[in-house]
Amino acid sequence: MSNNQPLLPDPQALNPAPAESLLDGALHYFPAFLPYNNADKLFQQLLHTLPWRQESLTIYGRRQVSPRLQCWLGEHGLSYRYSGKTFISQAWDPLLQQLAALISHQLQQPFNSVLANLYRNGQDSMGWHSDDEAELGPAPVIASLSLGAERDFTLRRRGESRQAGRLALAHGSLLVMNAGMQSHWQHALPKRANVQQPRINLTFRQILY
Ligand SMILES: O=C(O)CCC(=O)C(=O)O
Ligand SMILES: [Fe+2]
């Protein structure tokens, strides 16, 4: 692999054009947001350099080891509370900062932090939830960049147990969860026995206080 190419694309090279609008605009999906080359390099770099940790979380009163690795990075001193734990952001490096700026510019939305998830293979997952923590405000916009193995992202209406939709999130794609998404819908990343390869997901968020 040649190292003389930049990790991040020129903003002109981003491909935001064919956004698929889903759930009456609550979701926008850009299947090839990052050029393939950049997506590959970014994936390798983040896999090897982010401070990945396996958290133990309290879910429905039971302590469990989280079925994925995570880290939370952003501007200095932000704190974020979920699943009974407070996380203080680790300082993000210039790469993530530039990536956040690129996506912010593209979407015209501010992002001051990123929750990074590493699903080591198809056994790793994330259960049903909405990203509705108070720190995100009443109508957050969250931008979710996928790198590596393609995984299914599932959707259901809040208050219902039936799955209502599914989207396969491609390498280099960007899924934007718009205002209204978190208050009306839940999402999950289910286990997939046939997936052997890792996937990284970066969810860019704006913490309001
Ligand atoms: O991995 C994904 O695509 C979803 C991640 C997610 O929902 C979250 O971090 O809140
Ligand atoms: Fe989420």
Q: From the CB of 144, is ligand 1 less than 6 Å away? A: yes
**pLDDT tens sequence across 8-45:** 888 777 765 557 888 888 999 999 999 999 999 999 99
Question: In this prediction, does ipTM exceed 0.95?
Answer: yes
Q: Which of 187, 199, 200, 202 to mutate to test the pocket of ligand 1 (most atoms within 8 A of CB)?
A: 187
Q: Which two tokens stand for residue 117?
A: 């998830």
The answer to the question of residue 123 being in a domain is yes
Cα angle 146-150-151, degrees, rounded to a multiple of 5: 90
Domain count, the chain: 1
Which residues constitute the domain of residue 180? 15-205
Least confident of 59-73, 97-111, 113-127: 59-73
Is 79 among the domain residues?
yes
Mean pLDDT over 66-92 rounds to 87
Q: pTM for the full model?
A: 0.93
Mean pLDDT of 79-91: 82
Q: Give a yes or no: residue 163 inside a domain.
A: yes
pLDDT at 77 over 50: yes
Ligand 1 atom, smallest distance to 175 CA: 3
Give the per-residue pLDDT at 1.
Answer: 44
In a domain, 3, yes or no: no
The predicted-structure confidence for 135-157, as pLDDT tens digits, reads as follows 999 999 999 999 999 999 999 99
Pocket flag, ligand 1, residue 153 (CB < 6 Å): yes
Does the beta carbon of 126 lie inside 6 Å of ligand 1?
A: yes
- Counting ligands in written order, the one closest to the CA of 117 is 1
Give the pLDDT confidence score for residue 62 in this predicted structure: 84
Ligand 1 atom with minimal separation from the 201 CA:
1
β-pairing verdict for 20-22 and 27-30: antiparallel
User: For residue 138, is it within any domain?
Assistant: yes
Q: Which of 53-67, 122-136, 170-184 has the weakest average pLDDT?
A: 53-67
Residue 135's CATH number: 2.60.120.590
Least confident of 8-12, 33-37, 66-70, 191-195: 8-12
Whether 9 maps to a domain, the answer reads no
Is the pLDDT at 129 greater than 70? The verdict is yes
Domain presence at residue 7: no
Please indicate, yes or no, if residue 2 is contained in any of the structural domains. Answer: no
Banded model confidence at residue 7, pLDDT cuts 50, 70, 90: confident
Ligand 1, from 113, 115, 129, 144: best to mutate by most atoms within 8 Å of Cβ?
144
Q: How many angstroms is it from 153 CA to the middle of ligand 2?
A: 10
